[in-house]
Amino acid sequence: MKGLRFFGLVMGACVIFSGCGQQGNSSPVIATVNGEKITAADMDKQMEEMPPAYREMFADPANKEKLLTRLIKERILLQEAKKAKIGQRPDILEKIKAMNNQLMVQEIIKLNVLEKTTISDKEVADYYKANEEKIQQYAQGKSFNEIKGQLKEIALQDKQNSYFEKWVEGLEKQAKITKNLELLNPKKGIAPQSNKDNFKKGISRNGTPTG
């Protein structure tokens, strides 16, 4: 379960509307914001990075203008942030570094786990048989064929998590790891001194610092 939560956390940590760079200079220009172009390629890039449910929603021509409105607002805010030199602040640079690290972790998981695991119809059927009682608690009497699509996604995710656990375990065995667990577990029985005690020790009887 710990690995499953970690895997979900790593993979679930993406921002739907994160891209602000200008993509595809030769792509048709859909809009401009203070001279900066928003192209069809920009919109396509945003669509690619969305979860499937959002991608399907914005694929509808009726909703594409809503996506463009979002991109325009995002570009305006980005321009304001640049004017305020937000990107030069140390705290923001640290956050950017953390986001870059997370993106690299996501990509290595994609390359070594997601793209290397597939699931067959037989595996889905076997998964159903092994978990039929539990599945039927939520299936509300639906047959295997009626829930096969959803079941395939769940079975694939389970397989990916198992593959992920084994892959990371192998990497851990190869890595040189040192731990200082004493820093995580302070010695018991030694109560930390209060500020009041420290103050008393630092002041002599006549009220002058003792050094």
Is residue 1 within 8 Å of 12, Cβ to Cβ? Answer: no
Residue 190 inside a domain? The answer is: no
Angle value at C-alpha 30, between 29 and 31, nearest 5 degrees: 95
Residue 188 inside a domain? The answer is: no
The pLDDT of residue 193: 53
Domain-ending residue, one of 74, 104, 134: 104
Structural domain harbouring 152: 115-173
Is residue 144 within 8 Å of 46, Cβ to Cβ? Answer: no
Give the number of domains in the chain.
2
Does residue 74 surpass a pLDDT of 50?
yes
Does residue 5 surpass a pLDDT of 70?
no
Residue 51 inside a domain? The answer is: yes
Same domain, 98 and 131: no
Same domain, 14 and 81: yes
Among 135, 109, 128, 127, residue whose Cα is nearest residue 14? 109
Same domain, 68 and 151: no
pTM comes to: 0.57
Same domain, 13 and 100: yes
